[in-house]
Amino acid sequence: MRENGESRLGKPWLVLVTVMVGTLLIGLDRTVVNLAVPSVISDFGITVTTAAWIATSYIITNAVFVPVFGKLGDLYGNRIIYVWSFIGFIVMSVLTGLSWNFPSLIFFRAAQGLVGAAIYPTAMSLIAKSFTKPKDRAQALGIWSSSFAVSAIIGPLLGGFLIDNFSWRMIFYINLPIGIAGLIMTLIFLPHDRPEERGSFDWFGSVLLAGAITSMVLVLDQGQTWGWTSAASLACYAGAVVFGWLTYVWETRHTHPIIDFKLFKNPTIVSVLIVSFISFGGMMGAMFLLPVFTQTFLGYDAIQTGLLFVPMGLALPLFAPLGARLALRFHPRYTVSFGMAVAAFSFFMLRTLDPGMAYGDFIIPLALFGAGLGLGMAPLTTAATTAVPLHEVGMSSGLLNLTRNIGGAFGIALFGTVLANATNANVLQVAQQSVIRGTGATAHAIGTSLIILKADLLAYGTVFVWAAGAMLAGGIAALLLLRASGEEMEIPPEVRAEAMAG
């Protein structure tokens, strides 16, 4: 192995910076689109329920194709998949901005999710191939994780400015100059990598897997609107079960499956997926509702809401590399569980949300959340790439990102339902404890609105208590399940051999 830590992909730190640009671009796109929904509704004359398909179409195609592109990267090389997906994302961004009606917007938004799905798994694979030393790889993946935090800061600030001063279309056009800069870096700094596996792509298996994932994500995203026991939801449940079973039957018989179910015999991979599902469910469920609270009850605009997340965005890139380093010195389960406990405590601090809160009241909780997330997530990402041989890194990283997507969708659906149910229950409780002083329709209307307001505020507190419980459960799962330890992480012999030969 080269003493300077370089690998077959040339200068690893330039590879890292390059793929971080792509990760940042995808992250920016995902964080700004929700800000544009009111303007899109106004331009196209659609309802809020219809507008939800702007996010749903992207989420479904992105979730479906993450494992597909992870496998394609293993079969044909990650660089070529990364380059073409980058080009496709730039083109689809411009076409989305040029949408002439709502159906065309949904079509191009779905295409965006499709091509963008390749960025995360191929980026993780390129980093894993570039950094052959476990210590360097862990540090690199920790730094790479900070791209998400940067996009969380820049996205709302940049998106809010563009929407307020120009048009919602600009949030898609801005991907063009950023994308071209990233593409140039990709062509210069990403040398060609060799495929880690030979064989034909499993097209039929990918269709079956798409059916299972689409059914699952669709009901998670739309179930609250449809009703969890409606005919549409029941059809999605059935689709997820049937297509999931067919996927398992087919994939276990295919020589080059999209998802190798033997991975689920790897205790490290299984534990990483369980912890990621639980923690991302808690994280996404809570963080999705926090901007809704600030804009509804505090009167924040898009830019102010973006500024709210600056403490989190600053803490995460500081603590992600630290989490990766600590995981190499101690048992990763300790680092992950401690990070999840910190994140749980930060959510618990937000259980007393009220309209009198100022910006400063959010600084400590969200900074703690960013710190906990950085400490906890970086070791999980590292474990997903070090617990398998290099020819399965793309599949493993794709499976990790798929799990995070589904966990996030599940959390948003669950906590949205918790919020609605808690509000309804709180209305009765608050009404029983309230006395309306005054007579007449006006006094009654004001009293009723105040009761509903109080009930809604208490419901947000309930959501953050649930989110704290989910993060704590993720930490406990990590403590009980994760087995890897420092330099002795459960790295298969072939991975160590490849690293020594690098």
Please list the rounded mean pLDDT of every run of 10 residues in the chain (502 residues): 43 86 81 76 78 79 83 83 90 92 91 88 83 76 73 74 84 88 88 70 84 86 83 92 91 80 83 87 80 79 75 81 77 86 92 83 90 83 75 76 82 81 73 56 56 74 89 88 50 40 36
For residue 353, give the H/E element and its range. Answer: none
| Contact status, residue 372 vs residue 149, Cβ threshold 8 Å | no
Size of the chain in residues = 502
| Contact status, residue 283 vs residue 467, Cβ threshold 8 Å | yes
Name the pTM for this structure.
0.76
- Across the strands, what pairs with 10? 7
Terminal alpha carbon distance of the chain: 5
Q: Which fold has domain 1-196?
A: Growth Hormone; Chain: A; (1.20.1250)
Evaluate whether 1-196 and 263-502 have a shared fold: yes
- Of the candidates 347, 343, 353, the one whose C-alpha atom is nearest the C-alpha of residue 375 is 343
| Contact status, residue 406 vs residue 217, Cβ threshold 8 Å | yes
Ranges of each domain in the chain: 1-196, 202-255, 263-502
CATH number of this structure's domain 263-502: 1.20.1250.20
Cβ partners under 8 Å of residue 216, min gap 6: 236, 240, 406
Q: What mean pLDDT value characterizes the chain?
A: 79
Cβ partners under 8 Å of residue 426, min gap 6: 454, 455, 456, 458, 459
| Contact status, residue 54 vs residue 104, Cβ threshold 8 Å | no
Distance of CA 486 to the CA centre of its chain: 26
- pLDDT given for residue 357 in this prediction: 83
CA 36, 40, 41: angle at the middle one, nearest 5? 120
Give the helix, strand, coil percentages of the chain, each rounded to 5: 80, 0, 20
Distance between CA atoms of residues 468 and 348, nearest Å: 6
Lookup: tokens for 193: 């990598």
Lookup: tokens for 23: 């990760």
3-state secondary structure (DSSP) of residue 20: helix
Distance between CA atoms of residues 342 and 62, nearest Å: 30
